[in-house]
Amino acid sequence: MRDEFYKTLASPIWWGALVIAAIMPFVLSSYYVHILTLALVYVALASSWNIVGGMAGQISLAHSLFIGIGSMFSAALLLKLGINMWLGLVISAVISGILGAVIAWIDFRFQLGHLSFVLITLAFAEMGSIVVEGWDFLGGASGLLLPKDTGNFLAFQFGGGHGAFWMMLALAAICVLVNVAILNSPLGYYLRTIRDNEKAAQAIGVNILRYKITAMVISAMLASVVGTAYVRYLTFADPYLLISPVITIEIVLFATVGGLGRAYGPALGALLLVPLGEILRGKLGSTLPGLHYFIYGIVVISVILVTPRGLLPLFERLWARWRGPAVAGKP
Amino acid sequence: MTELYQALAQGLLIGATYGLLALGMGLVYGVSGVVNFSHGDFISLGMFMCLALYSAFAMDPYVSIIITVPLMIAIGALVYIFLIRPMVGHQFLMVVQLTLGLSLVLQNGILMVFGGEPARTPSFVESKLIILGDVVLRVPHIVAFVVSFALAIGLYIMLRSTDFGRSIRAVHQNAHAAALMGINVGRVQVLTFALGIGILALAAALLLPGTPIQPTQGLRYTVITLLVVVLGGMTNFVGIMLGGLIIGIAEAFGTIYLDGPIGLLLPYIIFVAIMLFLPKGLTWSSAR
């Protein structure tokens, strides 16, 4: 059952890619390391979202809540109550998990269906941003400024540029691995059954509530942990970035561009689009603010119209064609 | 007591326009099953068009609808034909992502053209007030209320008793049977989407006087519209107008009676509560 997962763990390509990625900070300038770090943040976020949005087919727009709890709440705990950020990370992850379970339960209990689920989660996300902007404990509209990163590992500090990059690389790798693991486990099959036909899944005895909650809790906790690491990297907890529904929309679009429900799809989408967007923003951000979002929008619309399943399946088809029919014919 | 009347009046006035915003979305959903997540950004687009016309020709928003409505109808038709129609049918949830992408494009297109500073478009009625006893009403709100209701009634009559209206209802009830009766379903869907976007151009002009606008506001309008449409049971005409009034009143009560974030949350709390206990919205009659 889990052969694929262990094969991935033992795969030299996987570890090779990871090692090559890990030596990047010694090769690239700090500007490009920064861009890669951001890309890894979104790889991790899009992959964690994929568990609910891709595999279970539930377009959750509530993930800004989990990212927001992981970032704003753990920052507030540190600044207002002096709670160590490692502990803050755990507390935030637990709260996010509980909130995720509640949302999944509401979805199940009230039989929302896919479309209503999108609407309700968007309403929840909007409520979250209103609460944070109006609540001084979480920084209000002006945000929270974390103490300078001095590299004290025990205080959840990684020493700026390089350390933060490795931290994000580890988190992104974990999120992608979790995707691989779930896709090849019974949970992954159940989730895909729920996505493709919820009534049929119920009829053959799939415990829908249990698997929906499991998927949502895993996804929410991962997103929260990534949120904590992200805010530590940013140093400034900006509510308009971290708990705005726009961050979820970005993640959804990255995952869609890469390939929904595939283990590496969301990672591919984020790795392609984030550097593109950041470089555009760096070059033209002062003259044309918003250009990178504009490009994201154009890219996602084009990808959906040309290859609705995302770029990963498209690349696979092209690869198979290039390798010749012998491989293409493989099941 | 004065506060109560003030909140009620304000909520009713603004709620009628919310209802109008939502009617466009409900019509489109009823005919082609598409929920447009860039709805609010089209409202933004309409508002910024008015702003541009004001800056260029000092045109009052109420006058500029002569230009913005046909323009937005054309944009709506093009968006449906080239972006949404290819998706309808085979990939239902993909339309959600597609319109989210479209929302980013519109929002940031506006940002690139107009910049991020909040802007205002003056109108000749902007600062006029009407005082009824203790209740102070702003003239733009009254205009918005009257026009919204007039338009809603006009739409209702159109749906009831014109051929186009009947074809919309036919496609809503059973697209397959409608096609067999000789109705060009594709054409009805394009026209309805275009009409829905055209209504937004009108609503934008109604909401504009006295309201500061900025490019990032679109998503919030989308959410308000969604709240109203879902409350109204997605396609029920009366339910949607009622939903608009409820959300408008909840918003007015929230800002007048409750301090801080709780006040702003009131519409959402009421929405979630109604959704959980009346999952089909305020009406059951047109269950789809």
Predicted pLDDT of residue A329: 44
Residue-wise pLDDT tens digits, B18-58: 998 898 888 888 888 888 889 999 999 999 998 888 888 88
Domain membership flag for residue B237: no
Residue-wise pLDDT tens digits, B268-279: 888 878 777 776
Residue-wise pLDDT tens digits, B65-119: 889 999 999 999 999 999 888 887 666 678 888 898 999 999 999 988 888 788 7
Residue-wise pLDDT tens digits, A31-74: 888 899 999 999 999 999 999 988 888 888 999 999 999 999 99
Residue A257 three-state SS: helix
Predicted pLDDT of residue B61: 82
Residue-wise pLDDT tens digits, A203-254: 888 888 899 999 999 999 999 999 999 998 888 888 888 888 889 988 998 9
Predicted pLDDT of residue A331: 42
Helices (H), B93-162: 94-114, 139-161
Contacts of A290 in chain B (CB under 8 A): 107-109, 111-112, 116, 215
Please judge whether B104 and A249 are an interchain contact, meaning their C-beta atoms are less than 8 angstroms apart.
yes
Look over chain A and give the mean of its residue pLDDT values, rounded to a whole number. 85
Predicted pLDDT of residue B286: 42
Please judge whether A110 and B105 are an interchain contact, meaning their C-beta atoms are less than 8 angstroms apart.
no
Domain membership flag for residue B268: no
| ipTM of this complex prediction, to 2 decimal places | 0.81
Bridge-partner residues for A71, per DSSP? none
Q: Would you say residue A327 has pLDDT above 80?
A: no
* B278 and A CB contact within 8 Å: no
Which is more confident, A328 or B252? Answer: B252
Please judge whether A126 and B220 are an interchain contact, meaning their C-beta atoms are less than 8 angstroms apart.
yes
Please judge whether B103 and A127 are an interchain contact, meaning their C-beta atoms are less than 8 angstroms apart.
no
Residue-wise pLDDT tens digits, A135-151: 878 877 788 888 877 77
Q: Per the structure, how many domains does chain B have?
A: 1
Reading phi first (left if > 0) and then psi (alpha if -120 to 50, else beta), residue B58 is in: left
Q: Would you say residue A17 has pLDDT above 90?
A: no
Contacts of B102 in chain A (CB under 8 A): 297, 301
Which is more confident, A23 or B195? Answer: B195
Domain membership flag for residue B116: yes
Contacts of A118 in chain B (CB under 8 A): 35, 96
Predicted pLDDT of residue A197: 82
Contacts of A253 in chain B (CB under 8 A): 97, 100-101, 104
Residues in Cβ contact with B72 at an 8 Å cutoff, skipping those fewer than 6 apart: B42, B45, B46, B49, B197, B198, B200, B201
Task: Tell me which residue range forms the domain holding B62.
Answer: 2-215
A110 → closest Cβ in B106, B109, B279: B279
Residue to test with chain B: of A112, A115, A117, A248, most B Cβ within 10 A: A115
CA distance A273 to B112: 19
Predicted pLDDT of residue A65: 93
CA distance A55 to A43: 16
Instruction: Provide the percentage of residues in chain B whose pLDDT is more than 90.
Output: 12
Please judge whether B98 and A301 are an interchain contact, meaning their C-beta atoms are less than 8 angstroms apart.
yes
**Residues B203, B46 contacting (CB under 8 angstroms):** yes
CA distance B34 to B42: 15
